[in-house]
């Protein structure tokens, strides 16, 4: 056998280091956008034969090994092809009005109507079809999914897209397709006795008005709810940041797709020990994924509460990975000084609160955090004590 390193044995490059998911994505014939984050409302889409609609992949540098996102666009007066697949997917309605029909394993169908900022999940491997209810405007969806792990695991597209196996236990109750659901909660192993509130359903009419619950462990006035959708392994939660406040910084596994639902502001991201921050804008349509173990922090600079949607691998029912289990048990709201993943306000870089005060001055919003910070002293700090650079990646698309 030759030991000549300059010659590749026949077929070697086609037999090893394969990525079936990316092979599939590259073969779908639609744009693949890759960036730190995206303005999903502005991304270019093209004809997607599989869905008989338009679409693009919205890949991010922090998506990790399990999760990805694509944008699905249904043109005015049109509908998608009926489709089913073995990967889970959360549909967040970016724009438009319409309906979705789902064919259930027992032969019945369920149809529900949606509008902007609704969210739904189709039970695993059920056939479904999406209808645009407008004859004038396109409907656009952010589709966060676990296709990467599914396709890479089986590396057989017929198995993923043409499999007749049914999962009746995933369907849920009839009311779960009507925007109703079941509320549950459980305590977490944290000193502040934080509680997880879970809403089980398949469909949420409007994330901007959905009832949330107090979660002060993530910042005073913070509100939150976890979603358990279609008995799935994927996780979603919606959180709200009060006026004049911001969340505590924390970090977690890769692949959490964060969507700004409403409000305006910004997010900062950095790795431990970094002197530089990455800044991303906060407005509806923006989606990004913090890379593995990168601290991130969300800031509300407008005159109303700001909400976001986060979708990731591992649900409260099926954590799937150990980092999700620890987070659900309370590790995400526990100080890094105690072995957790959160930076408490008193431990954060002074530049962070200084920037927040400067930003809300521009929007005329009063800080509601003077009980936590000596804000006069922070504003009086000389510039040389506030060294560092904030980098703003260029996201495709105009400001909304």
User: Per-residue confidence at 384, pLDDT binned at 50, 70, 90?
Assistant: low
Q: Measured between alpha carbons, how far is 199 from 166 in angstroms, rounded to an integer?
A: 24
pLDDT average, residue stretch 303-325: 94
Least confident span in 10-19, 199-208, 245-254, 331-340: 10-19
Is the pLDDT at 395 greater than 80? The verdict is no
Residue 8 vs residue 149, higher pLDDT:
149
Residue 400 has pLDDT above 50, yes or no: no
How far are the Cα atoms of 39, 88, 270 from residue 275, in angstroms, in the given order? 27, 38, 8
215 vs 89, higher pLDDT: 89
**Which pLDDT band, with edges at 50, 70 and 90, does 4 fall under?**
very low
**Average confidence (pLDDT) over 363-373:** 96
Pairing of strands 32-35, 53-60: parallel
Q: Residues of the chain with pLDDT > 90: what percent?
A: 80
Please, which pLDDT band fits residue 190 given cuts at 50, 70 and 90? very low
- Which pLDDT score, from 0 to 100, does residue 7 have? 56
305/133 Cα distance (integer angstroms): 30
Tens of pLDDT, residue by residue over 192-245, are 456 889 999 999 999 999 999 988 888 888 899 999 999 999 999 999 999 999
Q: At residue 2, does pLDDT exceed 80?
A: no
Q: What is the residue-wise DSSP string for 317-373?
A: S---SHHHHHHHTTGGGSBGGGTSSEE-GGGS-HHHHHHHHHHHHHHTPPPS-TTTS
Q: Residue 386 above 60 pLDDT?
A: no
Question: Domains of the chain by range and CATH?
Answer: 17-174 (2.60.120.10), 177-345 (2.60.120.10)
CB atoms within 10 A of CB 280: 22
Q: H-type helices in the chain, by residue range?
A: 20-27, 147-154, 157-161, 322-328, 350-363, 375-380
- 1 pLDDT band, cuts 50/70/90, is very low
Rounded Cα distance between 88 and 315, Å, is 12
Residue 399 has pLDDT above 80, yes or no: no
Pick from 101, 103, 95, 121: which is nearest to 40 by CA?
A: 95
Q: What pLDDT is attached to residue 381?
A: 84
Mean pLDDT value across residues 100-111: 98
Tell me the pLDDT band of 382, cut-offs 50, 70 and 90. confident
Write down the pLDDT at residue 103. Answer: 98
pLDDT score of 387:
53
- Beta strands 276-282 and 389-391 are parallel
pLDDT, tens digit (0-9, with 9 covering 90-100), for 127-147: 999 999 999 999 999 999 999
pLDDT, tens digit, 9 for 90 and up, residues 261-274: 999 999 999 999 88
As a whole number of angstroms, the distance between CA 33 and CA 308 comes to 22
């Amino acid at each position: 056998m030759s030991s000549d390193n300059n010659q590749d044995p026949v077929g070697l490059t086609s037999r090893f280091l394969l990525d079936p998911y990316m092979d599939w994505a590259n073969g779908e014939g639609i744009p693949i956008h890759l960036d730190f984050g995206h303005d999903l409302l502005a991304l270019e889409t093209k004809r997607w034969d599989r869905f008989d609609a338009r679409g693009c992949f919205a890949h991010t540098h922090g998506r990790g090994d399990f999760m990805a996102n694509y944008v699905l666009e249904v043109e005015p007066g049109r509908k998608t092809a009926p489709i089913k697949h073995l990967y889970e997917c959360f549909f967040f309605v970016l724009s438009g009005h319409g309906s979705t029909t789902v064919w259930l394993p027992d032969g019945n169908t369920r149809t529900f109507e949606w509008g902007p900022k609704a969210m739904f999940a189709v039970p695993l491997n059920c056939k479904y079809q999406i209808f645009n209810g407008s004859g004038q405007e396109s409907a656009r969806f952010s589709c966060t999914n676990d296709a990467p792990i599914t396709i890479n695991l089986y590396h057989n597209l017929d198995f993923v897209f043409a499999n007749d196996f049914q999962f009746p236990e995933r369907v849920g109750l009839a009311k779960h397709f009507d925007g109703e659901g079941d509320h549950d909660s459980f305590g977490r192993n944290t000193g502040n006795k934080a509680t997880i509130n879970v809403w089980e359903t398949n469909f949420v009419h409007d994330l901007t008005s959905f009832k949330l619950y107090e979660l002060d462990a993530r910042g005073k006035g913070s509100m939150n709810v976890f979603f358990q959708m279609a008995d799935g392994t994927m996780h979603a939660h919606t959180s709200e940041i009060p006026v004049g406040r911001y969340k505590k910084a924390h970090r977690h596994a890769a692949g959490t797709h964060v969507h700004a639902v409403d409000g305006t502001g910004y997010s900062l991201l950095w790795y431990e020990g970094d002197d530089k921050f990455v800044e991303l804008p906060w407005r509806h349509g923006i989606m990004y994924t913090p890379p593995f173990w990168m601290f991130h922090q969300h800031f509300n600079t407008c005159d109303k509460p700001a909400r976001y949607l986060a979708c990731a691998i591992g649900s409260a029912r099926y954590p799937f990975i150990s980092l999700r289990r620890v987070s659900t048990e309370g590790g995400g709201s526990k100080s890094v000084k105690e072995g957790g993943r959160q930076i408490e306000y008193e431990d954060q870089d002074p530049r962070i609160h200084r920037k927040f005060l400067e930003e809300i001055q521009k929007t005329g919003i009063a800080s509601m955090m003077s009980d936590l910070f000596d804000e006069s002293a922070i504003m009086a700090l000389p510039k040389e004590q506030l060294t560092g650079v904030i980098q703003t990646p260029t996201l495709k698309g105009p400001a909304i």
